[in-house]
Structure 1
Amino acid sequence: MRSIQRLVTLGAAAAAVVVLGACSAPSQEPSSATDVPPVPTVAAAGPTTPAVPGSTTAAEVFGPGCASLPTGDDPGSLSSMRLQPVAAAVETNPELTTLNDLIGRANLAGPLNAAPELTVFAPTNDAFAKLPAEQRAALEADPARLATVLEYHVSGTRASAEELRAAGTSTELAGGQVRIGGTGDAMTVSDASGGTANVVCGNVPTGNATVFLIDTVLVPQA
């Protein structure tokens, strides 16, 4: 959890620098009624693009599991999730109820929501159902270990599928990397323990993260 909290602190510090710079800029008043600065010409608006590097739009979402998401403006839909910080978006998604429960157990909801930008590999309910019962029980009983496993699914930078594929790897908050593979709609994420997850719905936009729903829980190296 300290990894995510460091991101929140750095994001707040950057925002403060911007605000202080704006406040310290000298004002320039016109010297006379005729000394009025020209009004800048506003260029015609081009195609709508994501404002934040690594962010995505609903049109870029892909994968066979996207069809199972709620539609319209219902909770958990693309329209709803894109307006919410990532932990709040996860809370509304019916495919991520187990992940939401574990985020709460690890006390990560606040730090995740406050982080400036993230990439999140989000195991679905089916992914957690693959874990042996004793392994999941052990994680639930150990919040520190649970937080480490969850942070292994989170990167401190925001990236789209295209950017992840170009990089080939993603460095996670828990330490270590995951490997990105596949082409087109068949995107994969491989962990340090040799396991591979398939992306079932990728490029999902939320307020502060790009989310990839995966079908297998990633396991950091022991």
Structure 2
Amino acid sequence: MRFTRTRTAKAAAAAVVAVPLALGGLASQSHAQGASPSPSGTFGSGCSSIAQKANTAKDKVVEAAAAYPQLSQLVAATVRAKLTSTLDGKPDITIFAPNDKAFQKVTVSQLTSLLGNEGQLKKTLSYHVVDEKITPDQLSKGSFTTVEGSKLTTSGSGTDFKVNGEANIVCGNLQAANATIYVIDQVLQPPS
């Protein structure tokens, strides 16, 4: 009986010491979170609505994008522009991927014209691709040269980022075998 009381008393004493230490640790963590660090995993308000198959990290970028129903128009445009093997063959690229809602914002005549001109379609889609892996840490004040050859910029903090000051990253840091994907809500136009 005495042994049980001693063990119980030691456990209670350990708990009394551990609780303030744990609370102190939580206080410093919440303070650190207030500084809006860049996210390390997938982030964004639109991520919860993006359905995905398991393990796109093992797929090349076009197959990985095809796993997300919200990117179906981008995948179809990529196939139409004959960019699949080009994108799948590049290591460590970043794609700012317009979702289907972004394509719905483009007028029917503009979209028809774009899809009917393979050269212009390649140029537009290549403007969404950067030939390097961009991490969330680089998004706050980024300037990147696209595969098309022009610059695009990123800005923001925490989990709220924009591309070229207008397109929102609605779900970011999705991984493919050779790419990082940031889903955006607008189709970007390369500078003329």
TM-score of the aligned structures, taking structure 1 as reference length: 0.66
- Distance in 1, Cα, partners of 2:152 & 2:76: 24
1:65 aligns with 2:46: yes
- C-alpha deviation, 1:165, in angstroms: 2.5
- Can you give the 5+ residue segments of structure 1 that lack an aligned partner in the other structure? 1-57, 71-75
Which moves more between the two structures, 208-217 or 177-186?
Answer: 177-186
- Distance in 2, Cα, partners of 1:129 & 1:80: 28
Match of 1:209 among 172, 179, 182: 179
Partner residue, 1:187: 161
* Contact map agreement 2:134 2:180 (CA 8 A) in 1: yes
Residue type of the alignment partner of 1:64 = S
Output the aligned Cα RMSD. Answer: 1.5
1:143 aligns with 2:113: no
Residue type of the alignment partner of 2:189 = V
- C-alpha deviation, 1:164, in angstroms: 3.1
Q: How does 1:86-97 map to 2 (within 5 A)?
A: 86-97=61-72
Q: Secondary structure, in 3 states, of the residue corresponding to 2:139? A: helix
- How many residue pairs match? The answer is 154
- Distance in 1, Cα, partners of 2:188 & 2:86: 20
Residue type of the alignment partner of 1:109 = T
- Distance in 1, Cα, partners of 2:129 & 2:102: 16
- C-alpha deviation, 1:207, in angstroms: 0.5
* Contact map agreement 1:87 1:100 (CA 8 A) in 2: yes
- Shift >6 Å, 4+ stretches: none
Residue type of the alignment partner of 1:163 = Q
* Contact map agreement 1:118 1:157 (CA 8 A) in 2: yes
Q: Secondary structure, in 3 states, of the residue corresponding to 1:120? A: strand
- C-alpha deviation, 1:59, in angstroms: 5.8
- C-alpha deviation, 1:91, in angstroms: 1.5
1:154 aligns with 2:142: no
1:131 aligns with 2:112: no
- Distance in 2, Cα, partners of 1:93 & 1:160: 20
1:199 aligns with 2:169: yes
- Can you give the 5+ residue segments of structure 2 that lack an aligned partner in the other structure? 1-38
- Work out the percentage of aligned pairs sharing the same amino acid: 33
Partner residue, 2:19: none
- C-alpha deviation, 1:213, in angstroms: 0.1
- Tell me which protein shows more helix as a share of its residues: 2
**Deviations along 1:137-159, whole A, 9 cap, x unmatched?**
00110011000000000000111
**Deviations along 1:189-217, whole A, 9 cap, x unmatched?**
01xxxx61000001111110111000011
Name which one, 1 or 2, has greater alpha-carbon Rg.
2
Residue type of the alignment partner of 2:179 = A
TM-score of the aligned structures, taking structure 2 as reference length: 0.77
Q: Secondary structure, in 3 states, of the residue corresponding to 2:144? A: strand
* Contact map agreement 2:161 2:168 (CA 8 A) in 1: yes
